Chains A and B, each alone.
Chain A
């Protein structure tokens, strides 16, 4: 009887582990396919299979960096992501701090009004008119402001709930010591918000890096394109050379995978905030 139970438990444990591996393979195989083919010759890559490359064609990467203009588009992506992260985090932190601490009728209304943006879709057609009016079409600053504006609602939602966990006594002590509101915010509040700010920064970086619809609508000149839009355009021109397309995909995805591996903890805590109590 006891032996039978032990055996059943062992079988179940083996089954669960096999299932987990099958699922992981289901998700890893397409990614592995891209990685392997990025090292093949054009002819070998056209078969799109999982065979190991006969020789490592590192030249694919140098070809794609040159032909796909990856140098400039990488810098564009980096510029848009880093600028949006800094601007959006600062503005969201300032706003959520005051909206969480000062709960007058006006502030409660403003919080709800901004957070409602999580549900609101963007009207790209009229947004174009607005962008033209404020002279931000086809401009790098315009794209950064757009990424900031669209991510403000969710970021304010994340930071707002964190602020309420910090005791208010700290603010009062700082004010009594003669600090001004901005001074107190920079020197005392921002450091206390660090955990949630890291989450916000990681999520904003990933979202901005992966996004391509804003540039698709609002950036005409290809020298201002981010990597995502450039890789798609490259795919349109070199769709017969899967080895090059794969190399381009690998290079475009490498930064987000790196950020994911380094900041996994923060991403998960951001994703689950608001969804799970506790």
Chain B
């Protein structure tokens, strides 16, 4: 049977065209334009060498701060979400009443828009009347009622905490599926050998979950590097530049019309992410049972 007649390549063209023109092309152009002086004011675009790249990594500007914040955000939220997600997944595969209700509630914030979640927490974290601080004062913990989003020392931690609140259910859901796919035979064998709950977790659950945890880690890393919505809604990079991340910087450069610096920032991240992503995608594709 002729495969090309049965499975014509033109079936791919629609998806491929949109993907190339609106996704790949801008990224490639971005790398090229990073070496120019392109801005909203420029009549013609001139080659500028490594100037923008130097600007991005120079200590005179705030970009390195934004890059470092992005990395910090990625590492901290990935770690905490994985640990909490794992704890939740273990809890939510035990004999809990209304198990499906609890699972559904824990996943619920993931389907809400990050923008909406940001607005909700602007209310909850309001220093004067917010729910968190009134609760803390009610418990007599006045010293803990801080200016969560306006104190530049803790604002970034608050942003990360909100993101963890929103995203831990996602990791939990994936890990629940991972735990359910572990054969119960292992646990029975361990029980016969007199293993306790911690030993079962440490020597069966955890090692068997390593492939799944790898995937959740990489998904989280890719998400963390791209973060914009939550930060934009909660602080928009402020106070000052305390909570600036890469994509809030790019958006500001874009608004100011300084396109070359904006695109240089974007391209630095794109090169990094595609290199990291390549290995992860290969892993995901192979996990899928497909030969490539």
A82 within 8 A of B: no
Which residues on the B side are within 8 Å of A47 (C-beta)? 129
The reply to whether B96 and A17 form a contact with Cβ atoms under 8 Å apart is yes
Which residues on the A side are within 8 Å of B108 (C-beta)? 27-28, 31, 257, 260
B225 within 8 A of A: yes
The reply to whether B181 and A278 form a contact with Cβ atoms under 8 Å apart is yes
**Which of A249, A267, A268 lies in contact with B116, CB distance below 8 A?**
A249
Q: Mark A21-56, 1 if CB is under 8 A from B, else 0.
A: 101101111110110000000000011111000000
Which residues on the A side are within 8 Å of B105 (C-beta)? 24, 27-28
**Which of B96, B104, B259, B263 lies in contact with A264, CB distance below 8 A?**
B104
The reply to whether B11 and A97 form a contact with Cβ atoms under 8 Å apart is yes
The reply to whether B123 and A117 form a contact with Cβ atoms under 8 Å apart is no
Which residues of chain A in 162-202 are interfacial with respect to chain B, using CB atoms and an 8 Å cutoff? 164, 171-172, 175, 181, 184-185
The reply to whether A121 and B263 form a contact with Cβ atoms under 8 Å apart is no
B189 within 8 A of A: no
CA of A110 to CA of B17, assembled, Å? 12
A111 within 8 A of B: yes
Which residues on the B side are within 8 Å of A101 (C-beta)? 3, 6-7
How many chain A residues sit at the interface, stated as a range, is: 35 or more
List the B residue with the shortest CB-CB distance to A127.
B26
Which residues on the B side are within 8 Å of A90 (C-beta)? 14
List the A residue with the shortest CB-CB distance to B276.
A119
Which residues of chain B in 269-288 are interfacial with respect to chain A, using CB atoms and an 8 Å cutoff? 269-270, 273-274, 276-278, 280-282, 284-285, 287-288
Q: Is the interface of B mostly helix, strand, loop or mixed?
A: helix
The reply to whether B278 and A116 form a contact with Cβ atoms under 8 Å apart is yes
List the A residue with the shortest CB-CB distance to B291.
A103
Closest-CB distance, B134 to chain A (whole angstroms) = 6
Which residues on the A side are within 8 Å of B262 (C-beta)? 124-125
CA of A210 to CA of B123, assembled, Å? 20
A1 within 8 A of B: no
A118 within 8 A of B: yes
B177 within 8 A of A: yes
Closest-CB distance, A203 to chain B (whole angstroms) = 10
Which residues on the B side are within 8 Å of A253 (C-beta)? 112-113, 116
CA of A25 to CA of B219, assembled, Å? 27
The reply to whether B280 and A119 form a contact with Cβ atoms under 8 Å apart is yes
A247 within 8 A of B: no
B194 within 8 A of A: no
What 4 pairs between A and B have smallest CB-CB spacing? A119-B277, A210-B113, A123-B30, A149-B22
25 A-B residue pairings within 8 Å (CB atoms): A16-B91, A17-B96, A20-B91, A20-B92, A27-B105, A29-B131, A30-B121, A33-B123, A33-B124, A34-B120, A91-B18, A92-B15, A95-B14, A107-B12, A117-B19, A121-B225, A123-B30, A175-B5, A181-B8, A210-B114, A256-B111, A257-B111, A259-B111, A274-B287, A278-B181
Q: A91-B14, A125-B250, A126-B27 are in contact. List 14 more A-B contacts (CB 8 A).
A: A16-B96, A27-B169, A34-B120, A49-B129, A102-B9, A116-B278, A121-B27, A126-B29, A149-B18, A156-B15, A210-B115, A210-B116, A212-B113, A216-B251
